[in-house]
Structure 1
Amino acid sequence: MPNTFSYVALFLWPVVVFFLYRSLPRDRALIASILGGYLLLPFGVGINLPVLPTYDKTLVPVLSALIMAMLVPAPPERATARGSATVADRAGRTPFTRQRETLARRQTHLQTQKAGPGETTGSGGNRISNMFLVLLFVTPFVSVLTNSQPVDIGPRVLPGLRLYDAFSFALTSLISVLPFLMARRYLATQRAHKYLLIGLVLWGLFYTLPALYEIRMSPQLARRIYGFLAQQFVQAMRDGGFRPVVFLQHGLWLAIYFAMAILAAAALWRTCRAEGDRKAPRWLFALVWLLGTLILAKSLGALAVALVLLPVALLFSPRAQVVATAIIAAVILTYPALRHADLIPVNRFVAAAESYSPERARSLEFRLVNEDRLLAHARQKPLAGWGGWGRGRVYSEHGRDISVTDGMWIIVMSDSGWLGYIANFGLLTIPIFLIALRRRGSGLPPATVGLSVVLTANLIDMIPNATLTPVTWMIAGALTGWLARREAAKAPPEGPPARRAPPRPPTRATA
């Protein structure tokens, strides 16, 4: 059972967010609020509110950041011209580089004054993302219209959906995409992307300390601090040791965060090298430390994702990176259709897992069997799914739930059908596609390309696991906002064309 301190932590986090917004710029305060709340607050503790979503670690950081962004004035910039030059000299940048960066900051400031931070709603990137957002909010109403009748399964009766459910589902969707919307507005610059990468790495380094403790002593921190462990303890036992959980939902969630932090460290190394920073090797040391912790965490899936994408982040050119991430994103976006057409070699994956560990192979095969069963059930409601209240799950003739949902893709397909799948995964993959389509333009910032690789790692993990978190939405929103700002900077000024001055009459000299 959750103890008193777990509820105190939930109610004190808005105070922490208030001080973050008082002392940090908007972008850094938002990053610290989302990452800190996701990693520090207890999972599985919440207060159920009527109509509104549950007051828990998903709602509290995002809603607090939104309220503080509207109420707390931004702190003044503390850096002076002399201080900036000193920092630049320490980083090894030349006066010409500093002058070029100053001009770029002035240009960004002028664009912000013209369109507002992230308010370039007329750009292609924002128009497409707004279409997916509308689809995301419309889908629950379509689900209700197609699931108004109850379902009888032996002694079990699943109730039909009502209009109340549609508003509740739509409000839950709004809360889930709030990090996307806020990041699209406040994290739309190259500087914010670098801060986001730094936040992922620094929080990851901090999290390695409790993770290493739990690897040695077993997952006990959540039980000792918050009074309970979110997952079953037997699931933390792996290969004669323990898989850390800390304060997250499951050890798999912790493992994929470490994988994302590893790729973020690789992106920071390339970013600092491009800026001429002589301290770039420190990010390689962080990468090695995080990779060692992930290996000790005994999570094969997240480790495989990190090892596959790490050469892409370290060795590929920015152009090759965005092409590779776009190909992977296309597979993710069409995964249900590819799986239905048997174009995904699942048997080869099982055989590869068998060569590594028979236990892992049996676990993977069990997941695939359940996914096939759920996918066959979802095909009965392909447009908008079965809705909520367990209608998308599979039951025996005696009314017993015999389905196990692991992957995010099958959860969305079962509950929301193709409309919900395209809305959710479209928002997550569209910035990767647009960055790849615009690769022939000016040079892509290394931090932005690195964020695309980090987001791709999380997308891959959402096939076997339901690891869609506020951090995922924040990264996708930051990439979408950057695309919108870039398109706005290249767009011609709005308004009527300037009138030409009438020709001057000829003078005596010209006559």
Structure 2
Amino acid sequence: MGNWFAYAALAIWPLISIWLYRTKTVQVATLITLLGGLMFLPVRTTVDLPMIPPLGKNTIPVISAFLGCWFMAKRRVAILGKSGWIKRLTLLFLIGPFITAELNGDAIAAGGLRIPGMTSYDALSAVVNQFIVIIPFFTGRQLFKTYDDQLLMFKTLALAGLGYSVLVLLEIRLSPQLHTWIYGYFPHSFAQQARYGGFRPVVFMGHGLLVAFFAAITLISAAVFWQLKDKIRQFSSAGVTYYLLLILMLCKSVAAIMYGFSSLLLIKFSSIKDQLRIAVFLTSIALLYPTMSIMNIFPHQALLEWVASADAERAESLKFRFDNEHILLEHSRQRFFFGWGSWGRNRVYNEETGDDESVTDGHWIITCGQFGWLGFVAEFGLLAIPVFSAMTASKLVKSRKELIVLAAHALLVSLIIIDQLPNSSLSPLLWLLAGILLGRSETIFQKYKEEIQLNRARLI
């Protein structure tokens, strides 16, 4: 439970959103509403109302943005839209959890533990939750369509990284204390934030891993402007990039450092085609990972040995995750298509004591356990389609600057997807970034079709 200020922050956020939609463009207002919620709202403090998911950090900004678009900006956000794979996957994403709940009416008993079966009420609640989850994706798809919209996204992220770096540096120096000072409690295990003789910053994101991944995203955003040879406001884009790289290193998260540093090298020194190919490759690996794990063809042992050669402690951490993945995957295979549902039913419990014997780190295994293989296909398929669409759209773009931004955006979304294998970093902001990539790609396709039709009309 947070203090009074934590609840006040949640209550004030919709009012801030209303002001943003009254005074800013719909794109700026949407970005700040979702980005600001991730950066500053309290973690795990919620208001629990009937039927709808608990109102907190990941729901209040989404609902505020949705209502702001509809009633303040008069911009309708349609969830399904045109026919095609997006519509099919969205229907599966929304309806699948309803079926999951209906198929899990049985109770789970282990030792002294008893988890009740899911009800029709839970089924309806699950659909509402999925609807809220997917709103940022379609908001990005419909409201961010142009090259300038993409630049706005990257500039906002880079500037957010600069501003947040002050708080990050403060916690690196003093240890993660801001959430406790402001909201009255620490949102996670404090011991997990100790790393390499110091601490990982947590600020208001809940875990050091999330801050590090956010730092990687802001670094990539700054690198785009460096490659374009454009300033970020009055700041040198090269200077901002180097500074954010330093911030990322100080976050002390090996995976995020690899994401950010390798992306920087790719954006600066590789071709646009190579960036897009790598984005497609990473996305494909994420999509195939559950199948490869089930079939025991993913090189888990080789990866562990490679990590151990650089850092034995990180290798132990990775092995722990792989071991738990195996336990949870075996459990999920018992209800392969639609999963076990919520309330912790996807976890593995000791038959005698009822103790929880599993740890769910990766978002993919959480999704597979709760909503089954079809739930994974729906969610990760929606995230993956923008990357594949960007690859195709790049063949139609003639401007090099537009290609630079499109390729970097595809690379960024592929990293969001691949990070869901070891971690669970998926937030409303990241859904928005994926939706923006899809909206931009679809605009390129539409422009190309219009040009073809215009040329045909001229010939006639």
Q: Could you tell me the TM-score, scaled by structure 1's length?
A: 0.83
Partner of 1:239: 196
Match of 1:447 among 405, 410, 420: 405
Q: 2:419 matched to 1:464?
A: no
Name the CA distance, whole Å, in 2 between partners of 1:127 and 1:119: 15
Q: Is 1:118–1:188's contact at 8 Å kept on the other side of the alignment?
A: no
Q: 2:320 matched to 1:366?
A: yes
Partner of 1:356: 310
* Residues 23-64 of structure 1, C-alpha deviations (whole Å, 9 max, x = no match): 211111111111111101111111111111111011111111
Name the CA distance, whole Å, in 2 between partners of 1:117 and 1:317: 38
Aligned residues: CA RMSD: 2.4
**Cα 1:316/1:149, change in 2 over 3 Å:** same
Specify the SS of the correspondent of 1:230: coil
Name the CA distance, whole Å, in 2 between partners of 1:261 and 1:145: 42
For 1:37, give the aligned amino acid.
G
For 1:338, give the aligned amino acid.
M
Displacement after TM superposition at 1:315 (Å): 2.0
Indicate the percent of aligned positions where both proteins have the same amino acid.
33
Name the CA distance, whole Å, in 1 between partners of 2:4 and 2:322: 40
Displacement after TM superposition at 1:235 (Å): 1.3
Give matches, 1:164-243, under 5 Å: 164-243=121-200
**Cα 1:301/1:492, change in 2 over 3 Å:** closer
Name the CA distance, whole Å, in 2 between partners of 1:474 and 1:120: 13
Larger radius of gyration: 1
Name the CA distance, whole Å, in 2 between partners of 1:46 and 1:118: 25
Runs of 4+ in 1 over 3 A off after TM superposition: 116-123, 277-281, 490-493
Partner of 1:437: 392
Name the CA distance, whole Å, in 1 between partners of 2:56 and 2:181: 19
Q: Is 2:226–2:241's contact at 8 Å kept on the other side of the alignment?
A: no
Name the CA distance, whole Å, in 2 between partners of 1:306 and 1:338: 26
Name the CA distance, whole Å, in 1 between partners of 2:326 and 2:79: 42
Q: 2:361 matched to 1:406?
A: yes
Partner of 1:110: none
For 1:24, give the aligned amino acid.
K
For 2:141, give the aligned amino acid.
R
Asked which structure has the greater RCO (Cα within 8 Å, sep 6+), the reply is: 1
For 2:378, give the aligned amino acid.
A
Displacement after TM superposition at 1:10 (Å): 0.7
Displacement after TM superposition at 1:461 (Å): 1.5
For 2:177, give the aligned amino acid.
Q
Name the CA distance, whole Å, in 2 between partners of 1:5 and 1:139: 37
For 1:154, give the aligned amino acid.
G
Partner of 2:30: 30
Displacement after TM superposition at 1:163 (Å): 1.6
Partner of 2:336: 382
Structure 1 gap ranges (5+): 75-115, 500-511
Name the CA distance, whole Å, in 2 between partners of 1:16 and 1:410: 36
Name the CA distance, whole Å, in 2 between partners of 1:324 and 1:431: 14
Q: Is 1:269–1:280's contact at 8 Å kept on the other side of the alignment?
A: no
Displacement after TM superposition at 1:309 (Å): 2.4
* Residues 192-234 of structure 1, C-alpha deviations (whole Å, 9 max, x = no match): 1111111111111111111111111100111111111111211
Name the CA distance, whole Å, in 2 between partners of 1:314 and 1:288: 13
Partner of 2:43: 43
Match of 1:333 among 282, 287, 293: 287
**Cα 1:314/1:236, change in 2 over 3 Å:** same
Give matches, 1:228-377, under 5 Å: 228-272=185-229, 282-377=236-331
Q: Is 1:117–1:186's contact at 8 Å kept on the other side of the alignment?
A: no
Specify the SS of the correspondent of 1:439: helix
Give matches, 1:70-81, under 5 Å: 70-73=70-73
Name the CA distance, whole Å, in 1 between partners of 2:422 and 2:203: 21
Specify the SS of the correspondent of 2:334: coil
* Residues 326-377 of structure 1, C-alpha deviations (whole Å, 9 max, x = no match): 1111111111001222232222222233233322222111111111000111
Specify the SS of the correspondent of 2:137: helix
Name the CA distance, whole Å, in 2 between partners of 1:8 and 1:442: 47
Q: Is 2:245–2:261's contact at 8 Å kept on the other side of the alignment?
A: no
Specify the SS of the correspondent of 1:334: helix
Specify the SS of the correspondent of 1:348: helix
Specify the SS of the correspondent of 1:440: helix
**Cα 1:6/1:385, change in 2 over 3 Å:** same
Displacement after TM superposition at 1:157 (Å): 2.5
Q: Could you tell me the TM-score, scaled by structure 2's length?
A: 0.92
Specify the SS of the correspondent of 1:395: coil
* Matched length: 450
Q: Is 2:321–2:361's contact at 8 Å kept on the other side of the alignment?
A: yes
Q: Is 2:219–2:260's contact at 8 Å kept on the other side of the alignment?
A: yes
**Cα 1:304/1:290, change in 2 over 3 Å:** same
